[in-house]
Structure 1
Amino acid sequence: MSTAARASTFTEPERPNDLLIRFITIGASFVDVTGTGEYSKDNRWHCTGCGDSSDCPDQDFLFRIRPDANNHAAACRAIPLR
């Protein structure tokens, strides 16, 4: 019997207007990368499961935070509680 959470079990949260990328975590939460674009320093990521987020939002070019957001999604086991 598998105890893995399935994405279809949970409802996807509303998408922010400035959403650039959304990763699903292994716990079926989401890591949202938001901001104004690829070469902007105001991009950041936020996990809807555990609440973790970018460390340096003033230096978050998309090419820098995309791997961090993806790595967090691959490791986070927090499930959505709403």
Structure 2
Amino acid sequence: MRTARIASAFTEPERPKGLQIRFITVGGSYVDVTGAGHDSDKHRWDCHGCKDTSRFPEKDYLFSIREKANEHAGLCRAIPLT
């Protein structure tokens, strides 16, 4: 079985320190989840497209922030401007 690969027309931004997960948005931008690792409660997400971020930065566990970042990526249509 062959799987399609979705390519972004934009250059992937530099990977920040503590990057745990990177999602691609429907607009072709990226949402980064950063933090100290699986057992930490100090994670946040940041969107490179619309510049939105988690509402309570560095106050969530990875399992929880992952879901919120993925939801944002599935809705965000902003394209990166840089």
Q: TM-score, structure 2 length as denominator?
A: 0.87
Which residue does 1:26 correspond to in 2?
26
Which residue does 1:14 correspond to in 2?
14
- Residues 17-36 of structure 1: CA deviation (Å, up to 9, x unaligned): 21000000000000000010
Runs of 5+ in structure 2 lacking a partner?
Answer: 1-5
Distance (whole Å) between structure 1 residues aligned to residue 14 and residue 59 of structure 2:
26
Which residue does 2:68 correspond to in 1?
68
Runs of 5+ in structure 1 lacking a partner?
Answer: 1-5
Identity, in percent, stands at 61
- Kindly state the Cα deviation for residue 56 of structure 1 after the two structures are TM-superposed: 1.7
- Kindly state the Cα deviation for residue 55 of structure 1 after the two structures are TM-superposed: 1.1
Structure 2 matches for 1:42-61, cutoff 5 A? Answer: 42-61=42-61
Equivalent pair of 1:25/1:77 in contact (CA under 8 Å): yes
What code does the residue aligned with 1:30 have? Y
Distance (whole Å) between structure 2 residues aligned to residue 59 and residue 25 of structure 1:
23
- Kindly state the Cα deviation for residue 58 of structure 1 after the two structures are TM-superposed: 4.3
Distance (whole Å) between structure 1 residues aligned to residue 58 and residue 29 of structure 2:
25
Q: TM-score, structure 1 length as denominator?
A: 0.87
Distance (whole Å) between structure 2 residues aligned to residue 35 and residue 45 of structure 1:
9
Flag as ranges the 4+ runs of structure 1 deviating above 2 A: none
Equivalent pair of 2:44/2:59 in contact (CA under 8 Å): no
